[in-house]
Amino acid sequence: MGQTPCHDSLPEVHVKVLFIGDIVGAPGRDTVHQLLPGLVRSEGIEFVIANGENAAGGKGLTPAVARELFAMGIHVLTNGNHVWHNKEIIDVLGRDERVLRPANFPQGVGVPGRGSGIYRASNGVKVGVLNLVGRVFMHPYDCPFRVGRQEVERLRLETPIIFIDFHAEATSEKIALGWYFDGQVSAVIGTHTHVATADAHILPKGTAFVCDVGMVGPLHSVIGMEVEPIVQRFLTQLPTRFSPVEKGPTVFNSVLLDIDDASGRALRIERIDRETTKHAQ
C-alpha cells in the first residue's frame, strides 16, 4: 500500500531521492533533525529535497533557518507563495543556488533568485530541480505549464533526472501538470496544502506523481497553525493572527523515489509518513 513499482525488479543503477513536505516552524525543523539522518541511512537516500517556505516561524524562510536545514542533510530547498515573507532571504536567493523560488514568478523584471538548478547526488548523479507555483485560487503568476516547459527543456540538456515541486492549491491543476510532463521529468510532487494525499503513483510514461506530499510540523493543528484562532476566523470572518503550534506531537510527510539513472524514469514512489510523540522544546 502506498508503493507503486514500475517494473518487477529495480535495475542495478538508480538514485534514491527523498522529497519532504512543507516544513512548518521550529516543530517541523526539529522533526526533520530527529528523523532525517536515520531515514538516509536505512533507505540509502542519495538526494534530499524539501519545501522550506514555512520553515521560519510558520511563514517564510530566513538565512539562519536555511543554513540549519542544509546542515541536517537537505540538498535543495524549494519555496512557494510565502517566499518573500522574510526580506532577508532575498540576498540568499541571489547567491545560494540551493535555495529556489518558483520559476513562474514574473519574468525579466528584476525578481531575485532562480527557479531551477542542477545538483549532484551523493553518488555523483546530476539531479535537476524545478520549482513552480500554481494559479488556481492563487495569484495570477506566469503560466506554470509554459514556463515549466521552457525550464524542463533546458534542464534536460544536462540530465534526464528532473524533479518538479508544484506549489499549488487545486488538485486538478496539479494532476494536469503531472500529465503534461509525463515522460519528460522524473517526478511532479505537489506541495502547499500541508495535507498528505494518498494518490502516489507512476504515470504511464514513467513520471512519478503525488498531489500533495504533506507537511512536517504539528499534528494537533490546522495545517500547522493553532486551532482556536482559525476556528474563530471561520466562525466570525474577522481578521485573526495565526501562529504555529509550538509543542505536542508532530507529523513527518515525505515520498521516497527510485529513479533510473539512464532514462530518468521513476521506478518507484513510496510514501514515508511518521509521527513523533512530542516536539522537543
What angle is formed at CA 254 by the lines to CA 253 and CA 260, rounded to 5 degrees? 170
Q: Is 220 a catalytic residue?
A: no
Q: Which of 7, 33, 75, 82 is catalytic?
A: 82
**Active-site amino acid positions:** 82
